[in-house]
Copies of this chain bind each other. A is one copy, B any other.
Amino acid sequence: MAEELEEQLYDKELLDELLEHHDIDQFREVFLALHIYEQGEYFTASDENKRSVIYQMLSPLEVAEFLEVTELENYDELFETMDAIYASQMLSEMSYDNAVDILNKLPKAKIASLLLMMDKEAAGEIKALLHYEEDTAGGLMTTEYISVSSLMTVNEAMLQLKEQAPSAETIYYIFVVNDRNQLAGVISLRDLIVAENDSYIEDVMNERVISVNVADDQEDVAMVVRDYDLLALPVVDYQNHLLGIITIDDIVDVIDEEASEDYSKLAGVSDIDSTDDSVFSTARKRLPWLAALTIMGMGTATILGSFQDTLEQVALLAAFIPIIGGMAGNSGTQSLAVVVRGISTGEIEGQSKFRLALREAGSGLLTGLCCAILLFIIICVVYKEPVLAGIVAFSLTIAMTVATLAGALVPIIMHRINIDPAVASGPFISTINDIISMLIYFGLATAFMSYLM
């Protein structure tokens, strides 16, 4: 549906044609009537030549408007084809937080030269924001918010709002500060509209304002916005001075990004947003990880190699290697996923983690037992080898129990020692579980060798 909708809404061929004929008036009329998201889509799909014509036809402000909501693959390239003065004007027309996001993708020298050409005020605000880490509240916030003093009347606040509105990122929350610029409260535009004109802001504002610290991690910030259903969230320093605000559109992107990150890591892919890459760059991205797994896999091979005598005597043992290793991998990945996602959505709190690991192991034991009974029956029926069936079934039970425990404990321990638990990817856990389950299986088989022959 979404795709159809986009196709209906803009006529790429017409724009291409107007661009080719340098028909400025017509191009501007058609292009500027589009939603900025569609303008961005058209721009993204254009090559360098088309883009340089677009710069001639549109003002820096007009380009800034759609670039703010567009994610480009390569910003370096963008600023190489764009005139430097044009570029710096364009950046100063953007919301500061978006300008900072773009600048953060450029080399240091380029940033400095662009800031030099920018107007003083914007350059100052942007420089201040550039200091914050990208994935913290400071990196997400903008300084373009509306704030009023708690001592103003509703009427005075309304006048200030109308004045500040053109440059504000949102006008739907008005933040209230005291005389030392400390966050004192918040009032929604909705409440401001229905309030009496001559009441004081401090009497109508909501004093229980939710805020985050400038150094807070973006994942925690996203949780606050989601849980409290906020459209904008104020950011303060350690002395509660109001520094900026974070708006919900940026939070939607953070949630998307964090979920994709967890997902990619579960699959052992470094960068999920890469469907446009070539074969070679895809292969190059995945190779380090796959090569590491190959070397880890040699560990499993070495263990099995050391049981060569056992294997030579009962070759049928080999037939059940994939099922035991695979089931340990599957149930370990299930535990891993539940724990990693639980940690990153904040569902799992401090004390319950150890209990969760035990629950996972318990569930591994129960499901392992059931699958083992199933397997025991099948092997007895098909191969008529009850001792072999018993060894396979027993190994499966232990392997699945250990695998679920490992799948849960590894991310919990990583989280405890401040490593992102999502780094413990599915393939990593599966390979670890391969090694453990083969030790169990062949250890048991070797011990009960005499009964097998």
A residues sitting closer than 8 Å to B (CB atoms) are: 1-3, 5, 9, 33-35, 37, 69, 162, 165, 171-172, 189-190, 193-194, 208, 210, 212-213, 216-217, 220, 223-229, 231, 248-249, 251-253, 255-256, 259-260, 262-264, 266-269, 272-275, 277-280, 282-283, 286-287, 290-291, 293-295, 297-298, 300-302, 304-305, 308, 311-312, 315-323, 325-327, 329-331, 333-334, 336-339, 341-342, 345-350, 352, 356, 359-360, 362-363, 366-367, 370-371, 374-375, 378, 382-383, 426-427, 430-431, 434, 438
| Cross-chain contact of A255 among B9, B210, B255, B325 (Cβ < 8 A) | B255
Among A190, A256, A280, A363: residue with most chain B CB under 10 A: A363
Q: Do A208 and B33 touch (CB < 8 A)?
A: yes
Q: List 19 A-B contacts (CB under 8 A).
A: A37-B227, A69-B228, A162-B193, A263-B263, A263-B337, A269-B337, A275-B347, A287-B370, A287-B371, A290-B331, A290-B367, A290-B370, A294-B371, A311-B316, A312-B312, A322-B322, A326-B329, A329-B329, A426-B426
Q: Is the CB of A2 within 8 A of B224?
A: yes
Nearest-neighbour CB distance to chain B for A362, whole angstroms, equals 4
Find chain B residues with CB under 8 A from A359 CB: 277-279, 282
Q: Distance (Å) between the CB of A382 and the closest chain B CB?
A: 8
Closest 7 CB pairs of A and B: A267-B337, A259-B259, A297-B323, A318-B318, A279-B362, A283-B366, A304-B319
User: In whole angstroms, what is the CA distance A298 to B366 when docked?
Assistant: 20
Given contacts A275-B347, A282-B359, contact A229 B37 (CB under 8 A): yes
Q: Which of A194, A231, A312, A334 has the most CB of B within 10 A?
A: A334
Copies of this chain: 2
Decide if B333 touches A267 in the complex (CB within 8 Å).
yes
Asked if A367 and B286 make an inter-chain contact with CB atoms under 8 angstroms apart, the answer reads: yes
* Minimal Cβ-Cβ distance residue in B for A438: B322
- Closest residue to A269 on the B side, CB-wise? B334
A438 to B322, CA, bound (A): 9
* Complex Cα–Cα for A5 and B209 (A): 12
Give chain B residues whose Cβ lies under 8 Å from the Cβ of A249: 229
Neighbouring B residues of A427 by C-beta, 8 Å: 326, 329-330, 333
Question: Are the CB atoms of B426 and A290 closer together than 8 Å?
Answer: no
Out of B223, B283, B363, B438, name the residue touching A367 (CB < 8 Å).
B283
Residues of B within 8 A of A311 (CB): 311, 315-316, 318-319
Q: Among B69, B190, B363, B438, which residue has its beta carbon within 8 angstroms of that of A282?
A: B363
Least Cβ distance of A262 to chain B in Å?
6
Name the residue of chain B whose CB is nearest to the CB of A191: B165
A252 to B132, CA, bound (A): 26
Known: A3-B346, A278-B359, A280-B366. 14 other contacts (CB 8 A): A1-B212, A3-B349, A171-B189, A225-B252, A248-B248, A269-B338, A275-B342, A283-B367, A287-B367, A290-B371, A291-B370, A294-B327, A311-B319, A318-B318
Closest residue on chain B to residue A253 by CB atoms: B226
A349 CB, min distance to chain B CBs, angstroms: 6
Alpha-carbon separation in the docked complex, A367 to B286 (Å): 8
Point out the residues of chain B lying under 8 angstroms from A162, CB to CB.
193-194
What's the nearest-Cβ distance from chain B to residue A158, in Å? 9
Q: Is B301 touching A323 in the complex (CB atoms < 8 A)?
A: yes
Which of chain B's residues have a CB closer than 8 A to the CB of A279?
A: 359, 362-363, 366
A44 to chain B, nearest CB (A): 12
Q: A297-B323, A374-B294 are in contact. Are A263 and B264 (CB under 8 A)?
A: no
Cβ–Cβ contact B316 & A315, under 8 A: no
